[in-house]
């Protein structure tokens, strides 16, 4: 599917408003890397069904980091000149605080994985701004819009009967994202980018089809957080475009009509989803603000207890990604976020909110820095339809992030930060190559870490001997599953080091604690 913009020239110095740097071969190659990388991150998934979420998230981590590093290196001239605004220094302070927090975290492996995602997100933000300044904004946004539509297409394929190993049956219709909520979030904050494509396109046919597909996926996922975010997104987008581009009201109407047609078709056409309720979409709509029972009640309990956890480490938090490690210390056994089949472990490896994650994992200062980044981007965003799309994207990401994990995950981080970088207008700064190189190095660590995790996962799934598992544990020393498996069988002298390693990674896990206790007997 092709989402077309007006084709820009890439050989002139100022192909788009604000272009300050001529687009040379490195910048054009960086553009291709970002365009391909966005769709590759959507598609990236593993067939290792022994792993639940990780078989989707780890490949996407790798795609995110590889794209950020390669594009950042290729566009280093343009990207380094984009650094220098107040937002950039806030982001650097956020990364520095996160790095210190990761060093002091209980589980440093998880900490540095989360830090690498943050670093690659910032790197993509700077690279996208550099490419925008080089006159490559429209093809970059075109690539992001395509990735948003692509994610919806994989979800719809699963909805209407396609069964492949790269889809998760338990969280349908998640497509290659592995979770229906993830698809919904991408549809909510990605809709403004696809909509902007429709406004700017010479021919609206394919962008309108894209809008219909994104809307259909958004409805079918039944994600209440994404539905709520879409209300704010649509109001901001519509008001902003009407106020700034009155001559485009026909395209505006056509875009929203296409979205409504997609949503209507999703509700009317029979599909292969099996919901427990007879009227699942009405039930989800009715329960959109229900916090008296069910998942809404569970979220309130989790938020309140996570804030208690944050209060125990208010400056640095418990460490990036370490919510899942420390949360069990602060809750009773019956907490709805805990996994009864694995005592001492949470159901999900993150809280049900970006902002709860920021506060609990990186402290109140870290959360404040991120809040200041988003407020400053909104206040200094510019004008016109692009500004409306920026505000709508930001609003949808923030609202989704109030009720679900969004920006702490690889694909949403990629798409949101690249979109903000391509849409945001700010004055050009001086060249800051050392700063950019430092962030590239952290992202490069993410490449190595994700590669090691994927290799170890493959060995875990196919190992026929203890020696193979031992090699996998050396490749990925942060794998709790590997250490736990090795600690449950074999000679005592070989089991105990792995029991202690597992306990060090997740000290509140009953399984790891019991295995370690046996070694002390």
Q: With 70 as the cut, is the pLDDT of residue 8 above it?
A: no
pLDDT digits (tens, 9 = 90+) for 394-443: 999 999 999 999 999 999 999 999 999 999 987 556 668 899 999 999 99
Smallest CA-to-CA distance from 439 within 96, 27, 45, 33 is with: 96
R_g of the chain computed on alpha carbons: 23
In this prediction, residues 142-166 reach a mean pLDDT of 95
Whether 203 is in a domain gets the answer: yes
Say yes or no: 369 and 505 in one domain.
Answer: no
Q: With 90 as the cut, is the pLDDT of residue 292 above it?
A: no
Say yes or no: 57 and 136 in one domain.
Answer: yes
Say yes or no: 482 and 441 in one domain.
Answer: no
Tokens for 257?
């009509």
Number of Cβ within 10 Å of residue 121's Cβ equals 26
Whether 14 is in a domain gets the answer: no
pLDDT digits (tens, 9 = 90+) for 37-83: 999 999 999 999 999 899 999 999 999 999 999 999 999 999 988 88
Which pLDDT belongs to residue 11? 39
Indicate the range of 103-107, 151-155, 243-247, 418-422 predicted with least confidence.
243-247
Q: With 60 as the cut, is the pLDDT of residue 276 above it?
A: yes
Say yes or no: 256 and 397 in one domain.
Answer: yes
Say yes or no: 127 and 249 in one domain.
Answer: yes
Tokens for 154?
């994989």
Tokens 């991120």 belong to residue: 370
Whether 35 is in a domain gets the answer: yes
Say yes or no: 112 and 146 in one domain.
Answer: yes
CA dihedral 386, 8, 422, 181 (to 10 degrees): 80
Gap between the Cα atoms of 287 and 224, Å rounded: 8
DSSP secondary structure string for all residues of 362-418: HHHHHHHHHHHHHHHHHHT--SHHHHHHHHHHHHHHHHHHHHS--TTSHHHHHHHHH
Whether 457 is in a domain gets the answer: no
Whether 398 is in a domain gets the answer: yes
Whether 47 is in a domain gets the answer: yes
Which pLDDT belongs to residue 82? 85
Under a CB-based contact definition with an 8 Å cutoff, are residues 320 and 115 in contact? yes
Say yes or no: 469 and 350 in one domain.
Answer: no
- Residue 295: pLDDT band (50, 70, 90) is confident
Say yes or no: 68 and 154 in one domain.
Answer: yes
Smallest CA-to-CA distance from 482 within 507, 520, 455 is with: 455
Q: DSSP state, 1?
A: -
Say yes or no: 108 and 231 in one domain.
Answer: yes
Q: With 90 as the cut, is the pLDDT of residue 151 above it?
A: yes
Q: For the chain, what is the mean pLDDT?
A: 90
* Number of structural domains in the chain: 2
Which pTM value belongs to this model?
0.93
Under a CB-based contact definition with an 8 Å cutoff, are residues 327 and 496 in contact? no
Say yes or no: 436 and 471 in one domain.
Answer: no
Whether 279 is in a domain gets the answer: no
What is the domain extent for residue 495?
A: 463-520
- Residue 21: pLDDT band (50, 70, 90) is low
């Amino acid at each position: 599917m092709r989402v077309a913009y007006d084709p820009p020239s890439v050989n002139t110095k100022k192909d788009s408003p604000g272009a300050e740097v001529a687009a040379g071969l490195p910048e054009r190659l960086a553009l291709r890397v970002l365009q391909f990388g966005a769709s590759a991150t959507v598609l990236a998934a593993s067939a290792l069904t022994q792993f639940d979420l990780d078989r989707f998230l780890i490949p996407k981590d790798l795609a995110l980091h590889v794209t950020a590093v390669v594009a950042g290196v290729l566009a280093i001239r343009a990207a380094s000149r984009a650094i220098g605004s107040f937002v950039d220094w806030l982001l650097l302070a956020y990364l520095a605080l996160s790095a210190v927090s990761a060093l002091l975290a209980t589980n440093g492996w998880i900490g540095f994985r989360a830090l690498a995602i943050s670093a690659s997100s910032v790197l993509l933000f700077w690279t996208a701004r550099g490419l925008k300044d080089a006159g490559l904004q429209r093809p970059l946004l075109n690539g992001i819009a395509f990735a948003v539509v692509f994610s919806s297409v994989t979800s719809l394929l699963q909805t209407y009967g396609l069964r492949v190993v790269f889809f998760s049956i338990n969280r349908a219709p998640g497509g290659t994202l592995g979770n229906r909520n993830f698809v919904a979030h991408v549809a909510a904050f990605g809709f403004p980018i696809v909509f902007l494509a429709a406004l700017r396109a010479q021919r609206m046919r394919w962008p309108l089809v894209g809008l219909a597909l994104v809307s259909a996926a958004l409805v079918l996922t039944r994600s209440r957080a994404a539905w709520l975010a879409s209300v704010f997104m649509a109001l901001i987008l519509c008001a902003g475009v009407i106020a700034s581009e009155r001559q485009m009201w026909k395209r505006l109407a056509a875009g929203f009509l296409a979205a409504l047609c997609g949503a209507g078709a999703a509700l009317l056409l029979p599909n292969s989803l099996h919901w427990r309720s007879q009227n699942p979409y009405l039930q989800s709509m009715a329960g959109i603000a229900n916090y008296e029972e069910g998942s809404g009640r569970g979220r309130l309990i989790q938020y309140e207890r996570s804030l208690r956890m944050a209060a125990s480490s208010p400056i640095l938090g418990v460490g990036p990604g370490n919510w899942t490690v420390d949360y069990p210390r602060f809750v009773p056994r019956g907490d709805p976020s805990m996994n009864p089949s694995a005592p001492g472990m949470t159901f999900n490896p993150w809280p049900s909110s970006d902002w709860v994650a920021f506060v609990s994992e990186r402290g109140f200062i870290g959360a404040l820095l991120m809040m200041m980044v988003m407020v400053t981007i909104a206040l200094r965003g510019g004008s016109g339809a692009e500004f409306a799309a920026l505000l709508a994207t930001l609003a949808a990401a923030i609202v989704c992030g109030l009720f679900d994990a969004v920006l702490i995950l690889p694909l949403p981080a990629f798409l949101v930060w690249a979109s903000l970088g391509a849409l945001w207008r700010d004055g050009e700064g001086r060249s800051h190559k050392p700063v950019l190189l430092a962030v590239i190095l952290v992202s490069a660590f993410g490449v190595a870490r994700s590669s090691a995790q994927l290799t170890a996962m493959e060995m875990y799934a196919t190992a026929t001997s203890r020696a193979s598992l031992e090699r996998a544990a050396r490749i990925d020393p942060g794998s709790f599953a590997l250490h736990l498996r090795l600690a449950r069988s074999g000679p005592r002298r070989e089991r105990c080091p792995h029991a202690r390693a597992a306990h060090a990674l997740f000290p509140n896990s009953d399984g790891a604690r019991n295995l370690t206790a046996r070694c002390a007997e």
